[in-house]
């Protein structure tokens, strides 16, 4: 079994717990995730199986999609529903203000990572320091919010919203920032991840469902490595170059589609997925170098 399972992680389970559970069910040690999903969140968590673990690095940068709930009036130390309330406000916020402020959080923005996160400071995770009552200086990070839609506003206190964002975005921090910007406070009271790149919630699988499957049935729900990488463009190489290609020899081409230069590509030869390669342009000559040969 080599590829990726689109796992539906339930709330309360850590990403590490998900990996350990699948290891036991599939009876294999070679399983890894493609970036953590908070324990208090549920939804899509792609898990790489077997040789599929070798493509996890190419999935880390995939865009993420969420449906979240922002509750106004309180601020918590973790910026979510599990934290301790540290500030409260009775300020009344109008619906048009909510719409106006949330529209500002689209595009490229700067975000300060929360203390309750898995980022490390001098080898120690920030949430471990936070639990000790410590706060350390963090550098703001540039992120991108591609889409943000308000789905429902209830009594101008609870806001259901959809967000599509880049890697490294903290929805908890987004909620906290919006709350402050509205002249009150806010925290993330619910979070569902509905997509990671091409992996969507409508074709994800729960742990209960996976437990019931036979080995043959499980193999049918594993996405092949190349299909898991459909966000990368493909490159088809002539059959006579097959031997050189699988041995990692750098190939030279006189002509190449300029749009493929300096990009990671899915490379095929003889209708076989070979791996991930990259085209470079040197003195008007094009060179293909394999970044990783993945042929099974």
The residues carrying an active-site annotation are: 38
Among residues 179, 192, 191, the alpha carbon closest in space to that of 89 is found at 179
Sequence length of the chain is 296
CA distance 189 to 180: 16
Instruction: Determine contact, residues 33/59, Cβ cutoff 8 Å.
Output: no
Q: For residue 174, how many other CB atoms are within 10 A of its CB?
A: 26
CA distance 195 to 189: 19
Strand pairing report for 186-196 and 42-49 = parallel
Q: For residue 126, how many other CB atoms are within 10 A of its CB?
A: 20
């Amino acid at each position: 079994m080599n590829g990726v399972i689109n796992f539906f992680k339930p709330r309360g389970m850590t990403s590490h717990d998900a990996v350990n559970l699948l290891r036991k069910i599939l009876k294999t040690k070679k399983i890894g995730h493609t970036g953590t999903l908070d324990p208090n969140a549920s939804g899509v968590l792609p898990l790489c199986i077997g040789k599929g673990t070798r493509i996890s690095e190419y999935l880390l940068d995939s865009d993420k999609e969420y449906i979240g709930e922002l509750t106004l009036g309180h601020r918590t130390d973790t910026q979510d529903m599990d934290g301790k309330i540290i500030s409260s406000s009775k300020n009344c916020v109008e619906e048009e203000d909510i719409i106006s402020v949330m529209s500002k959080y689209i595009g490229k923005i700067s975000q300060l990572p929360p203390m309750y996160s898995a980022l490390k400071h001098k080898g120690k995770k920030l949430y471990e320091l936070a639990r000790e009552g410590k706060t350390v200086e963090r550098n703001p990070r540039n992120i991108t919010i591609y889409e943000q839609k308000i789905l429902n506003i209830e009594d101008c206190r609870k806001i259901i919203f959809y967000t599509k964002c880049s890697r490294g975005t903290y929805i908890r921090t987004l909620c906290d920032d919006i709350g402050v910007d509205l002249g009150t406070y806010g925290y993330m009271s619910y979070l569902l991840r509905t997509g990671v790149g091409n992996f969507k919630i409508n074709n994800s699988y729960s742990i209960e469902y996976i437990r019931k499957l036979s080995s043959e049935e499980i193999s049918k729900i594993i996405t092949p490595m190349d299909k898991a990488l459909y966000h990368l463009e493909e490159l088809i190489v002539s059959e006579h170059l097959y031997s050189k290609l699988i041995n990692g020899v750098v190939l030279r081409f006189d002509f190449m589609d300029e749009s493929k230069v300096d990009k990671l590509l899915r490379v095929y030869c003889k209708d076989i997925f070979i791996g991930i390669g990259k085209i470079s342009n040197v003195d008007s000559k094009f060179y293909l170098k394999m970044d990783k040969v993945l042929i099974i």
